[in-house]
Amino acid sequence: MRRTALGLVIAGALTVGAGVASPVAAHPPASNPHTSTAAAFAKKVTAKNVLRHLGQLQKIADQNGGNRAAATPGYEASARYVEKTLKKAGYTTERDYFTFDREILDAQTLTLAPAAGDPVSYVVDQMAYSASTPVGGVTADVASPTDTFGCTPETWEGVDVTGKIALVSRGGCTFAIKGATAEAAGAAATVIYNNTDGLLNGTLGEENGVGIAVAGISLADGQALVAAAASGPLALTLDVRSHTETTESFNVIAETKKGRDDNVVMLGAHLDGVEEGPGINDNGSGSAALLEVAVQLADAKKLNNTVRFAWWGAEELGLIGSTRYVTDLAAQAGELDRIATYLNFDMVGSPNYIIGVYDADESTYEAPVAVPEGSAATEDVLTDYFDSIGQAWVDTEFSGRSDYQAFILNGIPASGLFTGADDVKTDEEVALFGGTAGITHDPNYHSPGDDLTNINAEALGIMSKAIAFATYSLAQDTSAINGVSGPGDQPVKPKPGKPGKPWKHGKSHGAPGHWDKAA
């Protein structure tokens, strides 16, 4: 899960917060004649089968360098497994190709040479869209602003930063402003340390105008460097260099053969993971749950609406696959109008889980993005299901920081499910879901530990059945969302690969922004 601020103004830490909602009767259940059949369908989607798919994804990662990242053999093998499983169930699958500019790291080190003793190395991350240092890096003393943030020229007044490495804290303004302000004061490079635990990953955004290298480090390392600088001049070397290469990847798309083609229910999960690990919770879990729902739905005797499934590529690199897909649809007259709603499933098996639903009705969180009409009704399908079985749930912020972003930017209703990433679990959440307070929902987030042994099967089962219920319910009736109920006139579906097939787009070009543009 790569939460991105692409095209949106979003500030704050790289988290999706969860607020406690009433676990029962938070939304009065709507009358729906398909509720009983949807509940029966949900029982067909078992955690056992979803775990079987996850086992295959784990095996794929093990055989391909330990990961399933975009544009790697692990991703290709993951896609082939999804395609093979879908074809066996009777679907026709399509690879929706796109190209993008990918950042390739050439060097990424931060080293302190103390007056006595061995050099000390720190983990550092060059920010996306940052300039590179010269070959060999920049070696200099460090300087910090008067307020630690360094957001305005006044904070550098009286500070000798010329030719030095600016050492500033996260907070107060965007990373690009920090870098530009330090550069204007004379800094040779900027290092920004986090204001919470963990390495600071970030982006300056495209066309940021910053001419010096900007990199992120952890809070602990930043505090250590500040303390060291207080004792005298430092010899700190920052060497962060990268270049871009045009890369090709693809989404995997499939849809049901039954159902009216002018009212499409769409569901998606990103198939790629990060390079650091196998990506079994993030986001093998959502991909596997969606796959099993698709397999079971293939046997449905009647569907009023077409259901389209997407396994997105290059989400971890900036929501690229889903953004390209929606951009292509928007360029085709009437194609976006076909989509009744979109549901997103990104991390649904977190070890220290919550049962989270995107807060489309803003009952707990005011959304930092525009919420398309119909999104609250989409959320209701999920929350009403949980209420009907007595399952506690909480709201998570409707932030747009996953693959539903491009959909909501284009006015398509959306909601989704989430069991948590790097937010810390609260006592209130423990009371609802068990687990351990004071640690994150997924301590293995974006790490080698995100493997099959750390999937919570209980959470996976709860969420998989909720996905199944919502899929079947909306496949029959979206009237609460867009006023469409019943099969209506059945348009003739174009054959796969022929003009007019809504998910046949060919290749698109360019690269969207990266993630976490926050201060």
In the prediction, which pLDDT does 499 show?
A: 29
What ranges do the domains of the chain cover?
18-91+256-482, 105-243
Largest CA distance in the chain: 81
The whole model's pTM is what?
Answer: 0.79
* Secondary structure class of 394 (helix, strand, coil): strand
CATH number for the domain whose boundaries are 105-243: 3.50.30.30
What confidence score (pLDDT) does residue 486 get?
Answer: 74
Q: Which residues contact 120 (CB under 8 A, 6 or more apart)?
A: 111, 112, 114
Q: How far apart are CA 52 and CA 212, in angstroms?
A: 48
Q: What is the pLDDT of residue 493?
A: 44
3-state secondary structure of 253: strand
Is 157 among the catalytic positions? no
Q: How far apart are CA 140 and CA 305, in angstroms?
A: 63
Q: Are 214 and 178 in contact (CB under 8 A)?
A: yes
Alpha-carbon distance of 518 to 173, in angstroms, equals 8
The closest alpha carbon to 273, from 284, 265, 264, 263, belongs to 284
Q: Residues 292, 315, 379, 397: which is the catalytic one?
A: 315
> Any idea which residue has 């009358």 for tokens?
31
- Find out if CATH 3.30.40.230 is the number for domain 18-91+256-482: no
Q: How far apart are CA 238 and CA 179, in angstroms?
A: 15
Which residues, in sequence order, are bridge partners of residue 101? 246
pLDDT at 491 (0 to 100): 42
Spatial distance between the Cα atoms of 216 and 191, rounded to a whole number of angstroms:
6
Report pLDDT for 34: 77
CA nearest neighbour of 60 among 34, 82, 87: 82
Ordered mean pLDDT values, 10 residues apiece, the chain (519 residues): 32 35 40 82 98 98 98 98 98 98 93 94 95 98 98 98 98 97 98 94 92 98 97 97 95 97 98 97 98 98 97 96 98 97 98 98 97 98 98 97 97 98 96 98 96 98 98 98 78 36 30 31
